[in-house]
């Protein structure tokens, strides 16, 4: 039975006669849906009514009405494309897809990368970005009818809103929807906190309004006297943002100073600073709360002057001063806003295309619209430029994987785990077997078929064959083949070592392993030293260095009454338990006996010894990490050059006092540089010879006890 459409028609007044006729036809289709008193989900007409506040175009309104989920039950289904055109039909398809999407899970709340990937997937798979706006309006309406749903569903929808849809609204610059989504979702998730903050705001609303109005009236008058034109208005605070600030600052609502906020929009940069001077002359300020984001913009480009004043009644008021251009930049929803709020990365393409979206939604300036092109062009630019290089696919467990566009199931396998990639032998996409060269599309679910054993195929790294697109996956395959040469390099290294011992005539030579000697052949079979033999096989350790791996047994000689066997001299470094190995200490971290150390097999310098916390070691590429080898300090006493830096209030007698401490500790100074400053402070840079970390700690402690010492530390 067809319902009366007159009340709905009144919602969409203000359109031209031809546009109104199309809206009435859409409403007539909706009117065919049978009444169901138990249907509590959002309806298309309700969603379209929400969008009327955003001055959207006719096609967006039509798509919102016709994406009503109940239309799926009409028989026959209306031909939207034939009646309203391809753009409206595409928008309806996108909104229906977004409304049916079930990828989100509550576990994503603690997985920021997954929620970010889902947001990007939603935007990338939408043919027309206006569909995302319609979806956001659907979510607002969904939250309004949520009290009729179960407790579990209320919490799920609310958390999904905070994790996915509010950030998308923020990113798109639709702040009114963002705030509404956040506050409504927060009301379901934290009802007690919501009610407490709301009550506090209501109780003090009249006082806040009077305070803001008095501030605006006084400032407006003073600016007019100086000939400064300005738009001044109170800036509302929203319940969810207040709650977040209370948690972040660990303050109660009564202790938050910036519940009172005013924004001042002026014509030019000079007026910004002139207005700031007037504000500071009229009211007491809080210096530590002043920020000049005009002279020092945020990394995301945001510019404004922020200050906090105290009025005659003791109220704190946050004041933001900016030009119209700065304000437009902040309000367009580009990275200047969403990166600051969400911690995202500054992206020029996102800035450009978010601005295009806002222009698409804004029909208040027909002249500008004619200059900038059609709505379809702007929407397509947004989508193609922002997401043309990414594809988002799902694992069987529902986890989202972000890949480069053009990626294959094999790229997906390596993104999951290197071993899965190596053992991949086939793939299913949406339950259907596909070749490994298949190009993945966003939203597809991929299952990898693996063998129990085996490795990659050489064809996989042939770019012309199309097995792999991502450089990371190609690198893993190449690394696998490189590692397969390890066994051959180890065998080669053993043969070289044997040959070198023969050449030196060291038939009975043994490798030094602590205090025990073992034959080279026996020692080669220990996995702990495979890296050494592999390095020899690769040529990283040359023939001149090989002799350092041996010790020559003493020749038998007639006993002499006064001769004694000299004690064995061991190296200061033991490599994999082997003493007398040619090593050098790294200058970048200057290791000292007592530091945790590790060896790096270099191609030209043998084995270089680093501290384990050395920045150069921590940031080694996976490929170079294979050249690391375990090392330990030996028993031979040795000293090591260690740079230290001393900061003092006064340079008087500094060098003399420090050198006396070092002399008493019998520590040699190999270099000293004293820099003095006009305020008589000084920096003393020394290089001292240290035997171990205990000695270093003791001497630094003694120096720190000298008068006028600010700081003394090992230089890194």
Kindly write down the DSSP assignment for every residue of 70-98, as one continuous string: GGGG-SSPP-HHHHH-HHHHHHHHHHHHH
What residue spans in the chain does CATH classification 3.30.70.260 cover?
640-714
pLDDT bracket for residue 566 (50, 70, 90): very low
Long-range contacts formed by 457-464: CB under 8 A, 24+ apart: 460/410
Q: Taking Cα atoms as reference points, which of 316, 268, 332, 317 lies closest to residue 294?
A: 268
Phi, psi of 696 (to 5 degrees): -65, -45
pLDDT at 371 over 70: no
> Which stretch of 5-19, 177-191, 534-548 has the lowest confidence by average pLDDT?
534-548
Higher pLDDT, 486 or 4: 486
> Which stretch of 179-183, 234-238, 259-263, 296-300 has the lowest confidence by average pLDDT?
296-300
At residue 281, the pLDDT reads 93
Angle at 478 between CA 472 and CA 480, to 5 degrees: 105
- Cβ atoms of residues 33 and 71 within 8 Å: yes
The whole-angstrom separation of Cα 62 and Cα 635 is 84
Cα end-to-end distance, the chain, whole Å? 82
Most confident of 337-341, 382-386, 479-483: 479-483
CATH 3.30.70.260 given to domain 640-714: yes
Name the burial class of residue 199, with classes exposed (0-12), middle (13-18) and buried (19+) by CB atoms within 10 angstroms of its CB: exposed
Q: Report the CATH number of the 204-331 domain.
A: 3.30.460.10
> Which stretch of 210-219, 334-343, 476-485 has the lowest confidence by average pLDDT?
334-343
- Compute CA distances 172 → 177, 334, 403, 505, whole Å: 10, 7, 23, 78
From the CB of residue 561, how many other CB atoms can be counted at a distance below 10 Å?
4
What residue spans in the chain does CATH classification 3.10.20.30 cover?
395-481
* Token reading at 633: 């300090």
- Compute CA distances 654 → 610, 647, 677, 686, 690, whole Å: 32, 10, 13, 12, 21
Q: What is the pLDDT of residues 128-181, one digit of tens each?
A: 778 888 999 999 999 998 888 888 999 999 999 998 888 888 777 677 788 889
**Residues whose CB falls within 8 Å of the CB of residue 533, separated by 6 or more in sequence, listed in order:** 489, 490, 493, 494, 497, 524
Q: What is the pLDDT of residues 618-652, one digit of tens each?
A: 888 887 887 888 888 776 667 778 889 998 877 77
Higher pLDDT, 492 or 328: 492
**Residues whose CB falls within 8 Å of the CB of residue 406, separated by 6 or more in sequence, listed in order:** 391, 439, 469
State how beta strands 573-575 and 631-633 pair.
antiparallel
- Cβ atoms of residues 238 and 182 within 8 Å: yes
What residue spans in the chain does CATH classification 1.10.3210.10 cover?
6-192
What residue spans in the chain does CATH classification 3.30.460.10 cover?
204-331
pLDDT bracket for residue 674 (50, 70, 90): confident
Q: Using the structure block, give the residue that is written with the tokens 């920045």.
A: 615
* Mean per-residue pLDDT, 588-598: 83
Q: Using the structure block, give the residue that is written with the tokens 């207005």.
A: 275
At residue 226, the pLDDT reads 92
At residue 416, the pLDDT reads 92
pLDDT at 384 over 50: no
At residue 342, the pLDDT reads 41
* Mean per-residue pLDDT, 67-78: 87
The whole-angstrom separation of Cα 446 and Cα 456 is 19
Q: Taking Cα atoms as reference points, which of 647, 639, 644 lies closest to residue 687?
A: 644
Question: 395-481: what CATH class?
Answer: alpha beta
Whether the pTM exceeds 0.85: the reply is no
Q: For the chain, give the mean pLDDT.
A: 77
Q: Using the structure block, give the residue that is written with the tokens 């008095």.
A: 214
DSSP 192-259: HHHHHHHHHHHHTHHHHHHHHHHHHHHHHHHHHHTT--EEEEE----HHHHHHHHHHHT--GGG-GGG
> Which stretch of 278-292, 459-473, 559-573 has the lowest confidence by average pLDDT?
559-573
Using a pLDDT cut of 90, give the percent of the chain over it: 21
* Mean per-residue pLDDT, 234-247: 82
At residue 32, the pLDDT reads 87
Alpha helix segments (H runs only) across 1-56: 6-11, 17-30, 44-51
Higher pLDDT, 204 or 71: 71
pLDDT at 317 over 60: yes
At residue 420, the pLDDT reads 93
- Cβ atoms of residues 56 and 361 within 8 Å: yes
Long-range contacts formed by 42-46: CB under 8 A, 24+ apart: 42/69, 42/138, 42/141, 42/142, 42/145, 43/68, 43/70, 43/141, 44/68, 44/71, 45/8, 45/11, 46/141
Q: Which residues of 475-486 are buried (b: 16+ CB within 10 A; e: fewer)?
A: bbbeebeeeeeb
pLDDT bracket for residue 239 (50, 70, 90): confident
Phi, psi of 365 (to 5 degrees): -125, 85
- Cβ atoms of residues 156 and 69 within 8 Å: no
- Cβ atoms of residues 144 and 129 within 8 Å: no
The SS3 call for residue 169 is helix
* Token reading at 263: 């924004």
- Compute CA distances 386 → 145, 171, 407, 569, whole Å: 34, 13, 18, 66
* Mean per-residue pLDDT, 205-215: 84
* Token reading at 671: 């270099």
- Cβ atoms of residues 430 and 445 within 8 Å: yes
In this structure, what DSSP letter does residue 14 have?
Answer: T
At residue 523, the pLDDT reads 38
Higher pLDDT, 369 or 484: 484
At residue 485, the pLDDT reads 75
In this structure, what DSSP letter does residue 283 have?
Answer: S
At residue 85, the pLDDT reads 92
pLDDT at 188 over 90: yes
At residue 561, the pLDDT reads 45
Phi, psi of 284 (to 5 degrees): -70, 140
Residue 402: cis peptide before it, omega within 30 degrees of 0: no
How would you write 298-358 as a 3-class SS string?
Answer: CCCCCCCEEEEEECCCCCEEEEEEEEHHHHHHHHCCCHHHHHHHHCCCCCHHHHHHHHHHH
In this structure, what DSSP letter does residue 542 have?
Answer: -
pLDDT at 558 over 90: no
Question: 6-192: what CATH class?
Answer: mainly alpha
């Amino acid at each position: 039975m067809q319902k009366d459409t007159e009340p709905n028609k009144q919602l969409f007044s203000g359109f031209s006669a031809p546009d109104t006729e199309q809206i009435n036809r859409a409403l007539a289709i909706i009117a065919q849906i049978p009444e169901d008193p138990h249907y509590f989900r959002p309806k298309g007409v309700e969603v379209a009514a929400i969008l009327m506040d955003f001055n959207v175009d006719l096609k967006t309104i039509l798509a919102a009405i016709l994406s009503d989920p109940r239309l799926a039950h009409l028989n026959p289904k209306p031909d939207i494309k034939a009646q309203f055109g391809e753009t409206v039909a595409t928008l309806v398809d996108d909104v229906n897809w977004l409304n049916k999407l079930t990828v989100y899970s509550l576990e994503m709340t603690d997985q920021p990368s997954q929620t970010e990937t889902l947001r990007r997937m939603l935007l990338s798979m939408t043919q027309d970005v206006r569909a995302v706006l319609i979806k956001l309006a659907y979510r607002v309406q969904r939250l309004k009818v949520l009290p009729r749903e179960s407790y579990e569903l209320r919490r799920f929808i609310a958390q999904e809103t905070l994790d996915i849809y509010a950030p998308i609204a923020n990113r798109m610059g639709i702040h009114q929807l963002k705030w509404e989504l956040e506050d409504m979702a927060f009301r379901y998730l934290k009802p007690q906190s919501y009610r407490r903050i709301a009550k506090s705001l209501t109780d003090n609303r009249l006082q806040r309004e009077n305070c803001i109005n008095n501030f605006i009236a006084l400032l407006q008058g003073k600016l007019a006297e100086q000939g400064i034109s300005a738009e001044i208005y109170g800036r509302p605070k929203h319940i969810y943002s207040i709650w977040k600030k209370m948690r972040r600052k660990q303050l109660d609502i009564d202790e938050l100073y910036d519940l009172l906020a005013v924004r001042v929009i002026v014509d030019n940069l000079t007026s910004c600073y002139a207005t700031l001077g007037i504000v500071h002359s009229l009211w007491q300020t809080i210096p530590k709360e002043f920020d000049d984001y005009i002279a020092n913009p945020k990394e995301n480009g945001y510019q404004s002057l922020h200050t906090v004043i105290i009025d005659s009644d003791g109220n704190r008021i946050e004041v933001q001063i900016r030009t119209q251009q700065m304000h437009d930049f902040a309000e367009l929803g580009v990275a200047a806003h969403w990166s600051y709020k969400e911690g995202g990365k500054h992206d020029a393409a996102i800035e450009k295309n978010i601005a295009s979206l806002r222009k698409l939604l804004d029909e208040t300036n027909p002249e500008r619209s004619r200059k900038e092109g059609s709505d379809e062009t702007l929407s397509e630019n947004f989508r193609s430029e922002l997401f043309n290089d990414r594809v988002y696919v799902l694992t069987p467990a529902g986890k989202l994987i972000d890949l480069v566009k053009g990626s294959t199931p094999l790229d997906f396998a390596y993104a999951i785990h290197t071993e899965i990639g190596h053992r991949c032998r086939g793939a299913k996409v949406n339950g259907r077997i596909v070749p490994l060269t298949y190009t993945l599309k966003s939203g597809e679910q991929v299952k990898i078929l693996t063998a129990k054993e085996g490795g990659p195929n050489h064809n996989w790294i042939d770019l012309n064959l199309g097995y792999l697109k991502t450089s990371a996956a190609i690198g893993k395959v190449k690394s696998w083949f490189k590692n397969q040469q390890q066994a051959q390099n180890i065998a080669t290294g053993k043969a070289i070592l044997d040959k070198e011992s023969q050449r030196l005539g060291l038939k009975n030579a043994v490798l030094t392993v602590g205090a025990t000697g073992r034959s080279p052949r026996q020692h080669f079979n220990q996995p702990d030293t495979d890296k050494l033999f592999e390095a020899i096989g690769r040529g990283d350790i040359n023939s001149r260095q090989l002799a350092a791996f041996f010790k020559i047994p003493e020749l038998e000689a007639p006993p002499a009454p006064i001769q004694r066997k000299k004690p064995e001299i061991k190296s200061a470094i033991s490599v994999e338990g082997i003493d007398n190995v040619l090593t050098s200490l790294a200058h970048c971290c200057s290791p000292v006996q007592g530091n945790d150390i590790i060896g790096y097999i270099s191609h030209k310098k043998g084995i270089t010894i680093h501290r384990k916390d050395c920045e150069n070691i921590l940031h080694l590429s996976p490929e170079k990490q294979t050249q690391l080898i375990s090392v330990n300090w030996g028993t031979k006493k040795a000293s090591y050059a260690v740079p230290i830096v001393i900061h003092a209030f006064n340079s008087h007698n500094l060098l003399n006092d420090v050198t006396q401490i070092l002399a008493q500790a019998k520590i040699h100074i190999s270099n000293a540089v004293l820099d003095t400053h006009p305020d008589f402070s000084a920096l003393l840079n020394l290089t001292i010879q240290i035997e171990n970390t205990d000695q270093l700690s003791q001497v630094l402690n003694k120096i720190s006890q000298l008068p006028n010492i600010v700081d003394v530390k090992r230089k890194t």
